[in-house]
Amino acid sequence: MSGYFKELFGGTKSLFVGLGITFKYMIKPVVTVQYPHETLVMPPRFRGHIELVGDEETGAPKCVVCGMCQKACPTNCITLTGEKPEGGKKKVLTGYILNFTTCSLCGLCVESCKFDAITFSRDYNLAGPRKDAYIFDLKKRLEEKSG
Ligand code: SF4
Ligand code: SF4
Q: What is the pLDDT of residues 36-48, one digit of tens each?
A: 888 888 998 999 9
pLDDT at 35: 86
> Is residue 116 domain-resident?
yes
Tell me if 108 CB under 6 Å of ligand 2. Answer: yes
> Is residue 44 domain-resident?
no
Beta bridge partners of 81: 95
> Is residue 130 domain-resident?
yes
> Is residue 37 domain-resident?
no
Radius of gyration for the chain, computed over Cα atoms and rounded to the nearest angstrom:
27
Residues 54 and 112 in one domain: yes
Residues 75 and 137 in one domain: yes
Beta strands in 30-143 (DSSP E): 50-52, 78-83, 92-99, 118-120, 135-137
Residues 113 and 57 in one domain: yes
Q: Which of 113, 121, 109 is nearest to 77 (CA)?
A: 109
Residue 96: phi, psi to the nearest 5? Answer: -145, 100
**Ligand 1 center–CA 76 separation, angstroms:** 14
Pairing of the two strands 92-99 and 50-52: unpaired
**What is the three-class DSSP state of 47?**
coil
Tell me if 73 CB under 6 Å of ligand 2. Answer: yes
In which domain, by residue range, is 87 found?
Answer: 50-146
Residues 2 and 73 in one domain: no
Residues 2 and 61 in one domain: no
pLDDT at 1: 64
Residues of the chain with pLDDT under 70: 1
Distance of CA 109 to the CA centre of its chain: 16
